[in-house]
A and B are shown apart, each in its own frame.
Chain A
């Protein structure tokens, strides 16, 4: 068995049955081995960046390891953005690249790049294999490492000659995950019971730890008002009455006010990212903080914790829940206050839009949220539409919301949707994108067609880079610079060129029928939604400002209410 065959053998041992890749010169031995392998489905994307992002989407939606494969040189460099995306959001990913033969490394050989060197800042770990006999052990270690503790991408770069070398070593023993250590929560419970205005603040760490059920039990038992980061949306469930949605730069005034006034912040699986906290010295100024996280390096990184609990979120949340089961918190007044804030200044788009008025992002997303099934997976891109989804779509699980949080990668959504669809070919998967983001990985329409994936594509088209335009308007004296996209292609014709049916809507009264049409269609379909260029995401906190200073939408002018002719 050669090195390439050992890789497939490791896939089988770890039940890895789907990988995303693109062949090329130095990875050919692995593609040759794939010819004889029936247990691994290889998904051929049309760009290596999309391979990495599809593997990312697959991992987010399934909770399993995402795997992507590419060749040396440009194959590897094209993976970089997708791997960095996974790194910033702690997504478990295995990256395998071919490298020029070992003897040619360092000679500026054809399609040679220093992959190990390039990978350093964007991986949990990376390897350059220099001995074929090391392949089984490295694979075993890499697969365990990518998924353990705080997950992340692990990259193995393998010279072509080593992929072809027969290996004497047999399969290594499976690395057993470490049992979680017991964490003492007594001090944290004392602090929680003493608080009059405690607030639950959760992030992406909940789903990364597979702790969704434990979190929900705790949220329900404690009755704590809850806010979430972008990646934490869905943690509390769609029907949790104490959920106040997203905080931060584009969070609701209600959520930010609750953070501002709380006296205890219980942070679960969140890293206090600047987009969530705003200016740190104005963040939760009256609160003590209990920080629960799997990663010791996140504790005290940006704000000192009064109590830090590092460990397995499942075990810690279960311990909290058990403590509260017989002695609930006495926070009724605070709960009522938060509910009032949520009702008066949470995200509630107007229901009675003029039927002939132009479509607004919030109105569209709210209807989508009402119409789409509860288990729909929404893969977003990056920009205004991403924030409207975060504000107005009600998620029942964090695994239903695929969004590029840390890196903010335009072009993420379409390949991520492809990855998600491969976790369940019958699931409803929707890519909500903008006209800027859509064009970043539009070549993947060919992948959707090739595999006949029933993905629904919704392009919210304002003919500009809306988020950049918005910030130029608000913070750069309205000096628009390089944001105009009014020469976009005809997206309907473009989809049809890939044999994907499409339709266009532009008026409020067309929203429902448009959504119902694409959801009812048995196959991929694109909905082109024309929205107003000047629409902004509200509220907004100026970058670097305190969340307390968030800016609300000015009163709409009548011009914005003009009907579509």
Chain B
């Protein structure tokens, strides 16, 4: 994938709350990757046995598809899409 292709991708921010279990982050990242998105930025905070994760993602597939796949994860309590598409830069 060349940089121009990457920058043309729509970008989204997902806020995810999940249980702080072993491999929780790996599980989240695995789903993001296999469902066709790239993590551009990730911020994680541990709050009382939970993880609050803010993900900035790039990908050409519908973000709703990823959201519903993440919501299926047993350890995920909530996935919120921040304001829809944030940006769609041209090459």
Contacts and interface: CB of A to CB of B under 8 A. Distances in A.
Given A296-B68, A297-B68, A120 B74 contact: no
18 contacts: A116-B23, A117-B26, A120-B26, A120-B30, A121-B30, A121-B34, A124-B74, A126-B23, A127-B22, A128-B22, A130-B22, A145-B74, A296-B71, A296-B72, A297-B68, A300-B64, A300-B65, A301-B65
Q: Which 9 A-B pairs have the closest CB atoms?
A: A297-B68, A125-B74, A120-B30, A128-B22, A116-B23, A297-B69, A120-B27, A297-B72, A296-B68
Interface in A337-371: none
Contacts of A145: 74
Given A128-B22, A296-B68, 16 more contacts: A116-B22, A116-B23, A117-B26, A120-B27, A120-B30, A121-B30, A121-B34, A125-B75, A127-B21, A127-B22, A130-B22, A296-B71, A296-B72, A297-B65, A299-B68, A301-B65
Interface in A111-138: 116-117, 120-121, 124-128, 130
B85 to A, nearest CB: 17
Given A297-B71, A300-B64, A128 B30 contact: no
A219 B21 CA distance: 45
Contacts of A295: 72
A310 to B, nearest CB: 10
Contacts of A299: 68
A120 B22 CA distance: 11
Contacts of A125: 73-75
A295 B69 CA distance: 10
B52 to A, nearest CB: 21
Contacts, number: 35
A116 B23 CA distance: 7
Interface string A46-69: 000000000000000000000000
Contacts of A300: 64-65
B71 to A, nearest CB: 7
Contacts of A130: 22
A117 B22 CA distance: 10
Given A121-B30, A297-B69, A297-B72, A128 B23 contact: yes
Contacts of A124: 74
Nearest to A125: B74
B32 to A, nearest CB: 12
Nearest to B29: A120
A562 to B, nearest CB: 50
Nearest to A141: B74
Interface string B17-37: 000011100110010001000
A120 B23 CA distance: 9
Contacts of B64: 300
Contacts of A116: 22-23
Nearest to B74: A125
Contacts of A126: 23
Contacts of B65: 297, 300-301
B72 to A, nearest CB: 5
Interface in B53-74: 64-65, 68-69, 71-74
A423 to B, nearest CB: 28
Nearest to B33: A121
A300 B68 CA distance: 10
A296 B21 CA distance: 24
